[in-house]
Amino acid sequence: MRIEQFDPITDAESLRACHQIYVATEACDTPDLPPTSYTVFEGAWAEGFGLNDPRETWLVFDDADEPIGCCILVFPARENPTLAYCDPRVTPQRRRAGVGSRLLEHCASRAREAGRARLQTYTRDGSAGAAFAQAKGATPGIDHVT
């Protein structure tokens, strides 16, 4: 398994691979919601919707060079300077094989290197992401109702 950083502005192939992973995870974890369009995904990952917060984007490959996971790691520049936001995603068929754990460790390491003491993410109650977060010792924060 290899975790590779990429530039979402110049590397459309990697960004599309991440979008496919993202949509596959949404279909499992939030099947009652419509999938995120590529345009919205691209805006969030490449441009940050106008926020100039530093960000890193990562793609995870298996030993056969197939994309199996991805993550965006955002470092807020103004508010919450001790925080890093991460959104790790693993294709549903590759979950529970250590990919998410490895990606989370990678994000935590990068966050520490950037001087961040906390990681934040969002997940839906009852989802695989919520179970993963709980297993990793995450504590619930603010409930959000949509």
DSSP, collapsed to helix, strand or coil, labels residue 24 as: helix
CB 81 within 8 A of CB 66: no
Q: What residues are paired with 85 via a beta bridge? A: 74, 120
Per-residue pLDDT tens digits for 107-142 = 999 999 999 999 888 887 777 777 778 888 887 777
Residues 6+ apart with CB under 8 A from 85: 72, 73, 74, 76, 119, 120, 121
CB 15 within 8 A of CB 32: no
Query: What pLDDT, on a 0 to 100 scale, did the predictor assign at position 77?
Result: 82
Other beta carbons within 10 angstroms of residue 54's beta carbon come to 13
- What DSSP assignment string belongs to 63-112? TTS-EEEEEEEE--SSS-TTEEEEEEEE-GGGTTSSHHHHHHHHHHHHHH
Query: What pLDDT, on a 0 to 100 scale, did the predictor assign at position 4?
Result: 95
Query: What pLDDT, on a 0 to 100 scale, did the predictor assign at position 143?
Result: 66
- Sheet (strand 67-74) strand order: 2-6, 55-61, 67-74, 83-90, 118-120
Structure tokens that stand for 15 in this block: 């960004």
Query: What pLDDT, on a 0 to 100 scale, did the predictor assign at position 60?
Result: 96
Query: What pLDDT, on a 0 to 100 scale, did the predictor assign at position 5?
Result: 96
What's this model's pTM, rounded to 2 decimal places? 0.87
Structure tokens that stand for 55 in this block: 């960000």
Low-confidence ranges of the chain (pLDDT < 70): 49-52, 143-146
Query: What pLDDT, on a 0 to 100 scale, did the predictor assign at position 84?
Result: 92
